[in-house]
Amino acid sequence: EPEVTQTPSHQVTQMGQEVILRCVPISNHLYFYWYRQILGQKVEFLVSFYNNEISEKSEIFDDQFSVERPDGSNFTLKIRSTKLEDSAMYFCASSGRWDSRYEQYFGPGTRLTVT
Amino acid sequence: EDKVVQSPLSLVVHEGDTVTLNCSYEVTNFRSLLWYKQEKKAPTFLFMLTSSGIEKKSGRLSSILDKKELFSILNITATQTGDSAVYLCAVGRSGGSNYKLTFGKGTLLTVNP
C-alpha cells in the first residue's frame, strides 16, 4: 500500500542551525502538508502546498520556515535558524484529488530535537 | 478560532469491552470530520465523515456524525489490546484555499488483557 515516507526519523541540531526535513508523499497525490506535534500537545497545522505554491500557512510558519518541492517526488521543510521551541515531531502528509483533499495520509514523522 | 474537543481524555478498558469516544467541534464552514489512530508515531487514517447521520464502518470500528449537534462518535466493539492508541479527531473547513485540519487533543485508549 502506498505510504508517505520521511527522513530522517530523528534529527538533533544545535540552536541557530539550519535543518531540512524531507518527505516523499504518496506518488499520485497533489496536496502536501506539514504538521507538528510538540510532546504532549495537539497536532498543529503548519503549511499546505499545492501546484508548487503555498496555499495556506499558520502563524507558526514564520520567515524561519520554508517549503519546497524540488523535484517530482520530494517535499521538504526547511527551518533556517532553529530555536529550542522548534523541538517537536514534524509530520508530512499528502492527499489526492480536490474532493478528497481533507483525507490526508501522514508519514511516520521526524523527531527534531534542538539543543 | 476553530475548536475540537475530545472526551474522555483517557480511558482504560478490558479486552472485549465496547468503547465510545466523543468529538465535538466548533468550526466555521465545516466540511469534514476525520478520525485517526496514533500508535507510536504517525496518525493513521480511519474515517472521514461529511454527511450527517451516515455511519461509516470498518470491521469493529464505526463512526457517525451529527452536524446539527456538532459532534461525532467513534465506537469500537470487542476491543483488543491492539486497539490501544491515541484516537485523534480532526475537522476541515470548506472554502477558498483552506485545506488544513484542526485536531483535538486525542483520547488515550488503553485495552488491558
* Tens-place pLDDT, residues A59-114: 999 999 999 998 878 999 999 999 999 999 999 999 987 777 778 999 999 999 99
Q: Are B42 and A56 an interchain contact pair (Cβ–Cβ within 8 Å)?
A: no
Instruction: Please give the pLDDT value at position B42.
Output: 85
Residue B97's pLDDT band (cuts 50, 70, 90): low
Beta-carbon contacts of residue A94 (< 8 Å; ≥ 6 apart): A4, A25, A26, A29, A31, A32, A33, A75, A104, A105
DSSP-assigned letter for residue A100: G
Nearest to A103 among B44, B45, B105 (CB): B45
B49 touches B72 (CB < 8 A): yes
pLDDT digits (tens, 9 = 90+) for B40-89: 778 999 999 987 778 899 999 999 999 888 999 999 999 999 999 999 99
pLDDT at B76: 98
Where does B3-112 sit in CATH, by number?
Answer: 2.60.40.10
Q: Are B27 and B103 in contact (CB under 8 A)?
A: no
What is the distance between the alpha carbons of residues B47 and B81, in angstroms, rounded to a whole number?
21
Long-range interactions of B67-70: CB distance < 8 A, separation 24+: B67/B30, B70/B24, B70/B25, B70/B26, B70/B30
Whether the predicted pLDDT of A26 surpasses 90: yes
The partner residue sitting opposite B43, judged by closest CB among A50, A56, A106, is: A106
Q: What is the mean pLDDT of residues B84-106?
A: 88
pLDDT at B28: 85
Q: What is the pLDDT of residues B10-45, one digit of tens each?
A: 999 999 999 999 999 998 888 899 999 999 778 999
* Average model confidence (pLDDT) across chain A: 93
Q: Which residue, among B6, B40, B41, would best test binding to A if mutated, counting the most A CBs under 10 Å from its CB?
A: B41
Residue A58 has pLDDT above 90, yes or no: yes
- Write phi, then psi, for A98 (nearest 5 degrees): -55, -45
- Residue A49 contacts B where some CB pair is shorter than 8 Å: no
Is residue B96 over pLDDT 70?
no
Contacts of B31 in chain A (CB under 8 A): 102
Look at B99 and A105 and tell me if their CB atoms are within 8 Å: no
CA of A101 to nearest chain B CA: how many angstroms apart?
A: 7
Domains recognised in chain A with CATH numbers: 16-94 (2.60.40.10)
pLDDT value at residue A2: 79
User: Quick check: B99 and A50 CB within 8 A?
Assistant: yes
Residue ranges of chain B whose CB lies within 8 Å of a chain A CB: 31-32, 34, 36, 41-45, 48, 88, 90, 92, 97-106
